[in-house]
Amino acid sequence: MNQKRTLLKYGILSLALAAPLSACAFDSLTVIGDSLSDTGNNGRWTWDSGQNKLYDEQLAERYGLALSPSSNGGSNYAAGRDGDPGIK
């Protein structure tokens, strides 16, 4: 019986602590990555998101956040590019 009370106390405490966390909201999304996250930092999109959105675009859309390239003042610092500059 004592073990059940202890378990019940910890359960109630856990719920009380977790309740305020569900009300937290994000006000921005910062992305750092490669071509799998690039939304136009090199002057063009690495991926045509007109048909298929990148994961970061989907995440921003889900939370109602704007996502634009850092080159346009946004918070997406991902940049994709072709090849390796060391290879000739």
Query: pLDDT tens digits, residue range 53-67?
Result: 888 888 889 889 888
Q: Which amino acid is at 20?
A: P
Q: Which residues contact 29 (CB under 8 A, 6 or more apart)?
A: 56, 59, 60, 63, 65, 67, 75
0.75 surpassed by pTM: no
**Cβ count near 71 (within 10 Å):** 14
Q: How many residues does the chain have?
A: 88
Q: What percent of the chain has pLDDT above 70?
A: 73
Asked whether residue 13 carries a pLDDT value surpassing 70, the answer given is yes
Q: How many CA atoms lie less than 13 Å away from 3 in the CB half-sphere? A: 0
pLDDT in tens, 28-58: 888 888 777 777 777 655 556 667 788 888 8
pLDDT bracket for residue 19 (50, 70, 90): low
